[in-house]
Amino acid sequence: MLLVSFLGVFIGLVMGLTGAGGGILSVPALVVGLGFSMTSAAPVALMAVGISALVGTLDGLSKKIVRYKAALLMAILGALFSHLGITLAHIIPDLFLMTLFSAIMLLVAWRMFRQARQIKNPVQPGASELKPCVLNPTTGKLHWTRRCAATLAGIGALTGLFAGMLGVGGGFIIVPAFKRYTDIDMHSIVATSLAVIALVSMSTVAGIVLHGTRISGMGWNFVGAAVAGMILGRLASPHIPSRLLQIGFSGIATLVAVIMLVKTYWPAAFS
């Protein structure tokens, strides 16, 4: 029971701090750490991620740092393109998909780590305006333009596409994409990522419940511990510099890439 609680809290904490990591880390934790089968681990992981992300979203909304319009747009596009991803998953070989995604994750992790390690330089005049989505300095809200809407729609579509093809959460695409194409601060990026994950995951969770899927007592303990970890992560997040959150994200992204490569080339490790 102690191991269940520890792993659950760890998953929730990672999600709360980085806005990602829950989905892809939950299944290995349940299978390798707790002895679940892949079939029984999937609904537990999804439930833990969905409810935890919802808790994190409510916290972000209370602090007014969730870009909820952007989250809603990305979630809608993500839901639409996830069906295309599922179709492509039956056509493209798993080996190619997993290897490509892992390589992308390692590249994203390296670039974010380098960005976080750079010495702070004064922002050059007009630099933020070069990004598709920028905040209105007067209102503090996103300045919606066709370019910004198209960029966010593209992020959502790509998130859904990879989610459908690989069954991974959207945080690993949303967080670095937001960092690159907007001038939103890291804390708001994490909160918005959790909102997208919550919207997508909870709709899937509802389907699971309606189909009568049952979760064991150990599974519910894991879910509860993940929610507790999320709460701890959201409480700690405002006190952690954005630079450290970026470094933490790059570390988790690297871990995810390694897990996916091991799962692809040495599947016996998860059996």
Which residues have C-beta within 8 Å of that of residue 148, sequence separation ≥ 6?
Answer: 132, 133, 134, 142
Count of C-beta atoms within a 10 Å radius of residue 140: 8
Q: Is the pTM of this model over 0.75?
A: yes
- Predicted confidence (pLDDT) at residue 202 exceeds the cutoff of 80: no
Q: What is the mean pLDDT of the chain?
A: 83
33-38 own/partner pairs: CB under 8 Å, 24+ apart = 33/3, 33/7, 34/3, 34/4, 34/7, 34/218, 34/222, 36/219, 38/270
Per the structure block, which two tokens stand in for 150?
Answer: 């198209």
Q: What mean pLDDT comes out for the span 156-160?
A: 88
Confidence label for 39 from pLDDT (cuts 50, 70 and 90):
low
Per the structure block, which two tokens stand in for 39?
Answer: 């079939």
The tens digit of pLDDT for each residue in 107-124 reads 878 887 887 776 455 455
Which residues have C-beta within 8 Å of that of residue 8, sequence separation ≥ 6?
Answer: 48, 221, 222, 223, 224, 225, 226, 228, 229
Q: How far apart are CA 61 and CA 221, in angstroms?
A: 26
Question: Of 237, 203, 265, 259, nearest to 26 (Cα)?
Answer: 259
Determine the pLDDT at residue 127. Answer: 52
Per the structure block, which two tokens stand in for 178?
Answer: 């937001």
Count of C-beta atoms within a 10 Å radius of residue 206: 11
Q: Are 112 and 18 in contact (CB under 8 A)?
A: no
- Predicted confidence (pLDDT) at residue 11 exceeds the cutoff of 60: yes
Determine the pLDDT at residue 167. Answer: 61
